[in-house]
Structure 1
Amino acid sequence: MSAAQEIVNSVGGADNIISLTHCATRLRFQLRDASSIDVAEVEGITGVMGAVPQSGERFQIIMGGGVQNAFNDINALPEMSAKRPLSDDELKASARAGGVRGRFSWVDSFFEFLSDSFRPILGSLLGASLFITFMALMSTLGVIGNWADPRTELPPSWAFVNLLWQSVFVFLPLMVAYNASKKLNADPWVGFAIMALVMLPGFTSLGESDAAYTAVIAGSEVTLIDIFGVPLTVFGYSSQVFPPLLMAAVLGPLYKLLKRIIPENLQLIFVPFLAMLIMLPLTAFLIGPIGVFIGAWVAGGLAAINGFSPFIFAILVPLAYPFMVPLGLHWPLNAVMLLNIAEHGSDFIQGPMGAWNFACFGATAGVLVLAWRDKEVQMRQTATGALAAGLLGGISEPSLYGIHLRFKKIYPRMLMGCLVGGLVLGFGGSVTTNAFVFTSLLTIPAFSNIALYGAAVAAAFFTSMLLVIIFDYRTPEQKAAARRATGTADEAEQATVETKVIVVGDVETNQAKQWVAALGGEDNVSAVEWVAETRVRVQLKDSTPVDVEALARAGLPAAVQVADDTWHLIAGPEAELYATAINRRLGSVALVS
């Protein structure tokens, strides 16, 4: 059975999947019912680095760098194209899925909006960051001049190479506008066109006309020009991300309103037309400038902290990031980094951020060492993929979701690495970069004061790694379970397991007899196993004779078919007793026969 087939089976089959998307490292399922998923079973599938149950019938599976292939393989399965259609109730439930996440659902939705606005362009950003690193390395070696200074006249060949990364960052607002509009169910090309207005050369040239004038707004000097008597603020919007995010946040509800009030047979023409009629001037006159000012205020606040004490800033950023990334709070900071580079030519946040990233990767390296030592094949695969994504791509999510958030003892070790890396930066002085890059091994040359930055990230990496290796990341129970799973438990542990006595009462014995009968009898049951604390997994030869109603009458709270011939009996806290009772029932019948 392929890994794609196993993944689909583990989440309840194709008919249980309402929708499937993916981010840089995770498959993201919206399910009809996620209550019966066995996380341990999912994480045991080859290639899976971890599983993250979420509220609102959502479920995420961490695949690392292979997520695109896994996504394609799943969608290529015959049953995915033959899924039963959604009922009206299910369509409505899926549409309002964001509203069933609890009292703070808007916070969850907000950060999901930010994530999905940037997620599809992570590949292009990563590619551009490597071009930037190459230019920085050539400048450091003296092959070219200061590539990041627009006043530097590069030879034509090198000037062309310098354009390779600019193709991404100059037009970043258009990419963000497309993704953000699509996320809010507006026509993404309409969002693209609206943002393109303020990026036209003709728009920028308005600020260079004789009719243009300057004024001070919110403490900043800006260029204005009157359009039909209304002052228009002329900015350069290259690399800006706050304006397209705000524009999409308004366009989404507007699109929904227009679709509700315009007859369906006229929507193709008049919904995009009216949306553009409203949003084009609104973005140029109001939303765009507000976005620029918001970004400037956030950047100014962080710059004030850094200006007050670079030492404190260098420590706070790496210590805060381990908590910001799982919540999605790092996306606004990425926008500020881009703004710093666009406005000032350099950024001071990415250096301390690198200390956090390498502390994260160091903890993963420590886990990998222990996994090799203890012969834990699954964890070794997970840690290897996560470490490769981190050191080569600067992506921390496989480490976080695949390992760190699953073992609470890792975070203190990782935070110590963050602290040590931050202290090195704080004592050594400031580290800046002239372009937005992913903090990986490959992008170290992009930072000024390479020696200091390299020393800081190395200190963060090896501190976390050594602490994990020395003090482990598992509780004694988790270590014992891992050793038993790999057959490396010591004799005392094996003896404990072998002599464990489970007392099964008459009630459990009687119910086990009735459950087996409802499953088609003893001859139809191939294997029985206690899983996930509250479930009994039963492998059948044939699922046709299964009588779900009889199971319910016999006191079983729920039964879920997770594969063609595999069922989970949701038996509650006494599931181990019932699994033992069923196995004894099968054994006694086999002896009699």
Structure 2
Amino acid sequence: MGKNQESAKAIIAGVGGVGNISMLTHCATRLRFTLKDTGKADTEALEGTKGVLAVVKQSDTALQVVIGGGVEQMYNDIMALPEMANVKGGEVEDDADDGELTNDQVKAQERAKTKGKNKWVDSFFEFLSDSFRPIIGVLLGASLIIAIINVLIACHVVSNETQSPTMLFCRAMYRGVFYFLPIMIAYNGAKKLKVDPWVGAAIMGAVMTPEFLALADPVKYASIFSTTDGQNAAQSALTCVTNATLGTDSCTTQVFGLTMQLNDYSGNVFVPLLMVAVLALVYKGLQRIIPNSVQLVFVPFLSMLVMIPITAFIIGPIGVWLGNGLGIGLAWMNTNAPFVFAILIPMLYPFLVPLGLHWPLNALMLMNIDTLGYDFIQGPMGTWNFACFGATLGVLIIAIREKDTQMKETAGGALAAGLLGGVSEPSLYGIHLRYKNVYKRMLVGCFAGGLSIAILGWLFPSTLADGTVVRGVTTTAFAFTSLLTIPVFNQMWVYAISIAIAFAVSAVLVATLDYRTPEQKAEAHARIAREQAKASGAAPAAAPAATATAVKAAPKAAPAQDAAVATNEVLAPIAGHAVTLEETGDAVFSSKALGEGLGIADPKDSKVVAPVAGILKTVAKTGHAYGIKTDDGVEVLVHIGIDTVKMNGEGFTVAVAKGQRVNAGDLLATVDFDKVRAAGHPTVTVMTVTNSKKLGGVTPRTGIDVKAGDAVIDIAR
């Protein structure tokens, strides 16, 4: 058993036990659970588990547990638990005869639930993400090797003589990752599209062989040709034209009597991405027409026979043209509008990364290195990363000041992952996206860093090895922007000053202005007081006062409920007729699996209000459900209509947000019940006390007409 044994057990218990898991996989920073019932997951327990940075619920069955850089070890330790013995490869083995969906089908369904209205756009970015994500580790490793080599050169430990055996070997240590990157991406992309990944890798490999390269340079690859006549014939068929913009030669030759444009595809990312998209159509088409008994032989064979020529003649040149065009366009912007470019990149990244929309820019970075010999996007991007890490430092400073152990661990781990690994996800998912005020402070740091790199880059342009003058910071390697990779940047001092400014501005703003709303700050103070009281064995006497003070400081915030006052009644959220849970017509509520409660049928108003005072723990994006937890621990669920989640928010106007404090009677939502009826859904509003079993008694008052604000449920301790 690994070092995370206790945490692994706690995580499985926190998600509702192994019996509640339909599927478990992991990505670069997160454990991805598909659960049979997320209601069984204890979010608070999970977030309090050592090693867990955050918990993100994506849908009714999808739950992500953010771990950070140690996610693979945590995943392995979870899979090593004895109770996980029936789980193979991260997926629970299904009984083939039970008629249930396969794990792949469940995965497809759950991903479909989280997609937006433009599903093809979601699928495209998901394809890009999954094509790159598995090779993040080797890309990071290669960038660190480059950084170490640069440091050794600067310290005169190794010579910078490019043709020396030592330097050639050092280059081979990292060059292999970037040279064979198209094959890796082809493998991952084909796998994502449910095509034999080795077929994708083989097709891309065919146009990277010495034989293919010899078509463009017969002299260099003279050993490929068995005779001098063969070499001369290849050379005579070759026609080359110099590209004035890029300073490179574009060559063509004759194959099967057709003109083929020749390119060096090493390091290219657009060609494999385009190729596997076409391969998926060919491969799956062959699967439909070839009998199952001979598919193993003929589907890969015919796919290669068709796709290798298509890639060499059509897809390859298109991919190179696309990459060159985008790279030249951005290079023009960087040269002619450097201030706009240097500020735009770090200001956009904070919004692109959480949505996974940054992968196209990452692909462009790799293409720039392949075509131009350098990249100019990573410098401005680095200022965003360090602004992000600076904001995390600000949170850590506040956590230390307030003796907030929970946030101190979260921020400390995220900061280490960022500064040493260049990974922003622990900061984003563990802190920034949970406390939106962080973005207001962090964006100032992004702007300051981008402006710094623009000004210094303009005043002190750099000259590349080929004599090209570039304004801004460049790099010849794809690097994760961390402290360890600073040496890979040209104009290193400009880059170092710019990221330091971005880091310091964000850290100071967050540390001085805080990262929480008054309500969030009050809730945190109350939690800290409870934790300290629990640790000392004393009652948390100071918590109510701290909460009241903090909330009073915010003019628009509702006053906190005194923690000493027990919640004895739950009020009606809407006017109508109170009925029993059995009369609501919903099997889950009728079973009281979600606690004791009642329904309010025949709504007389369109406004739904809070039935108790407390913190909103759940606010459905569709506006149909709200979960409120009172200061003394009563948890109330308000569910408007039956199956109204299927309306996707149509007819629901939400007036509150998750984490907000509300008083009894505050507006939660305005509902167009005519639209609910037109959609064929019952209009009964169900209200339950979800933690009824922990209370002394929960008694609903049914069979009566009520107005909003009337007492309808009695609570006993």
Which TM-score band applies after superposition, normalised by the shorter structure?
0.7 to 0.9
Cα 1:518–1:35 change in 2 (3 A) is closer
Are 1:136 and 2:138 counterparts?
no
Q: Could you say which residue in structure 2 is the equivalent of 1:203?
A: 212
Q: Could you say which residue in structure 2 is the equivalent of 1:261?
A: 289
Checking the alignment, whether the CA contact within 8 Å between 1:502 and 1:580 is kept in structure 2 is no
Are 1:171 and 2:171 counterparts?
no
User: For 1:8 and 1:572, how far apart are their aligned partners in 2?
Assistant: 31
Checking the alignment, whether the CA contact within 8 Å between 2:261 and 2:317 is kept in structure 1 is yes
User: For 1:472 and 1:518, how far apart are their aligned partners in 2?
Assistant: 42
Cα 1:293–1:510 change in 2 (3 A) is closer
User: For 1:343 and 1:474, how far apart are their aligned partners in 2?
Assistant: 45
Checking the alignment, whether the CA contact within 8 Å between 1:536 and 1:575 is kept in structure 2 is no
Are 1:462 and 2:504 counterparts?
yes
AA aligned opposite 2:28:
A
User: For 1:322 and 1:589, how far apart are their aligned partners in 2?
Assistant: 45
Structure 1 gaps of 5+ residues are: 522-528, 538-555, 559-570
Cα 1:427–1:262 change in 2 (3 A) is same
Checking the alignment, whether the CA contact within 8 Å between 1:18 and 1:94 is kept in structure 2 is no
User: How far off its partner does 1:557 sit?
Assistant: 9.2
Cα 1:39–1:573 change in 2 (3 A) is farther
Bigger Cα displacement from structure 2, 154-163 vs 61-70? 154-163
Q: Could you say which residue in structure 2 is the equivalent of 1:214?
A: 240
Q: Which residue of 133, 137, 140 maps to 1:126?
A: 140
Cα 1:107–1:202 change in 2 (3 A) is same
**Deviations for 1:438-471, whole angstroms, at most 9, x for unmatched residues?**
1110111111222211111011001101111101
User: How far off its partner does 1:493 sit?
Assistant: 3.9
Q: Could you say which residue in structure 2 is the equivalent of 1:184?
A: 193
Checking the alignment, whether the CA contact within 8 Å between 1:367 and 1:383 is kept in structure 2 is yes
Are 1:106 and 2:113 counterparts?
no
Secondary structure of the 2:569 match is coil
TM-score (norm: length of structure 1): 0.83
User: How far off its partner does 1:417 sit?
Assistant: 0.5
What does residue range 26-65 of structure 1 map to in structure 2 within 5 Å? 26-34=30-38, 37-55=41-59, 57-65=61-69
Checking the alignment, whether the CA contact within 8 Å between 2:343 and 2:454 is kept in structure 1 is yes
RMSD, aligned α-carbons: 3.7
User: How far off its partner does 1:195 sit?
Assistant: 0.5
AA aligned opposite 1:499:
A
**Deviations for 1:544-577, whole angstroms, at most 9, x for unmatched residues?**
xxxxxxxxxxxx999xxxxxxxxxxxx9665379
Cα 1:572–1:440 change in 2 (3 A) is farther
User: How far off its partner does 1:418 sit?
Assistant: 0.5
User: How far off its partner does 1:11 sit?
Assistant: 3.2
Q: Could you say which residue in structure 2 is the equivalent of 1:362?
A: 390
AA aligned opposite 1:399:
S
Q: Which residue of 260, 270, 291 maps to 2:298?
A: 270
Q: Could you say which residue in structure 1 is the equivalent of 2:474?
A: 432
Cα 1:301–1:572 change in 2 (3 A) is farther
User: How far off its partner does 1:40 sit?
Assistant: 3.6
**Deviations for 1:135-162, whole angstroms, at most 9, x for unmatched residues?**
22233345556x5xxxx53432232122
User: How far off its partner does 1:536 sit?
Assistant: 10
Secondary structure of the 1:498 match is coil
Checking the alignment, whether the CA contact within 8 Å between 1:129 and 1:437 is kept in structure 2 is yes
Are 1:25 and 2:7 counterparts?
no
User: How far off its partner does 1:411 sit?
Assistant: 0.3
**How many pairs align?**
548
Bigger Cα displacement from structure 2, 79-88 vs 60-69? 79-88
User: How far off its partner does 1:376 sit?
Assistant: 2.2
User: How far off its partner does 1:581 sit?
Assistant: 5.6
Q: Could you say which residue in structure 1 is the equivalent of 2:131?
A: 117
User: For 2:449 and 2:373, how far apart are their aligned partners in 1?
Assistant: 25
Q: Could you say which residue in structure 1 is the equivalent of 2:14?
A: 10
User: For 2:527 and 2:178, how far apart are their aligned partners in 1?
Assistant: 48
User: How far off its partner does 1:507 sit?
Assistant: 10
Q: Could you say which residue in structure 2 is the equivalent of 1:90?
A: 101
Q: Could you say which residue in structure 2 is the equivalent of 1:243?
A: 271
**Deviations for 1:42-100, whole angstroms, at most 9, x for unmatched residues?**
32322111122224843322100110012112222344333562654523454454444
Q: Could you say which residue in structure 1 is the equivalent of 2:419?
A: 391
Checking the alignment, whether the CA contact within 8 Å between 2:695 and 2:716 is kept in structure 1 is no
Secondary structure of the 1:497 match is coil
Q: Could you say which residue in structure 2 is the equivalent of 1:66?
A: 70
User: For 1:584 and 1:575, how far apart are their aligned partners in 2?
Assistant: 8
Are 1:492 and 2:520 counterparts?
no
Checking the alignment, whether the CA contact within 8 Å between 1:7 and 1:45 is kept in structure 2 is yes
User: For 1:506 and 1:30, how far apart are their aligned partners in 2?
Assistant: 35
Secondary structure of the 2:70 match is helix
Higher strand proportion (structure 1 or 2) = 2
User: How far off its partner does 1:223 sit?
Assistant: 0.9
Q: Could you say which residue in structure 2 is the equivalent of 1:481?
A: 523
User: How far off its partner does 1:309 sit?
Assistant: 1.6
Cα 1:365–1:572 change in 2 (3 A) is farther
User: For 1:56 and 1:183, how far apart are their aligned partners in 2?
Assistant: 24
Are 1:442 and 2:477 counterparts?
no
TM-score (norm: length of structure 2): 0.69
Secondary structure of the 2:101 match is helix
Bigger Cα displacement from structure 2, 344-353 vs 206-215? 206-215
Bigger Cα displacement from structure 2, 199-208 vs 501-510? 501-510
AA aligned opposite 1:492:
A
User: For 2:389 and 2:108, how far apart are their aligned partners in 1?
Assistant: 37
Secondary structure of the 2:57 match is strand
Checking the alignment, whether the CA contact within 8 Å between 1:179 and 1:188 is kept in structure 2 is yes
Are 1:503 and 2:617 counterparts?
no
User: For 1:267 and 1:412, how far apart are their aligned partners in 2?
Assistant: 56
Bigger Cα displacement from structure 2, 494-503 vs 405-414? 494-503
Cα 1:5–1:263 change in 2 (3 A) is farther
User: For 1:330 and 1:506, how far apart are their aligned partners in 2?
Assistant: 47
Q: Could you say which residue in structure 2 is the equivalent of 1:80?
A: 84
AA aligned opposite 1:290:
I
Higher helix proportion (structure 1 or 2) = 1
Cα 1:118–1:81 change in 2 (3 A) is same
Q: Could you say which residue in structure 1 is the equivalent of 2:329?
A: 301
Structure 2 gaps of 5+ residues are: 87-91, 218-233, 458-471, 533-541, 549-560, 582-588, 596-613, 619-625, 630-640, 644-684, 700-713
Checking the alignment, whether the CA contact within 8 Å between 1:536 and 1:576 is kept in structure 2 is no
User: For 1:582 and 1:156, how far apart are their aligned partners in 2?
Assistant: 79
Secondary structure of the 2:205 match is helix
User: How far off its partner does 1:222 sit?
Assistant: 1.9
AA aligned opposite 1:26:
R
Secondary structure of the 2:342 match is helix
Q: Could you say which residue in structure 2 is the equivalent of 1:343?
A: 371
Cα 1:391–1:505 change in 2 (3 A) is closer
Checking the alignment, whether the CA contact within 8 Å between 1:530 and 1:579 is kept in structure 2 is no
Q: Could you say which residue in structure 2 is the equivalent of 1:406?
A: 434
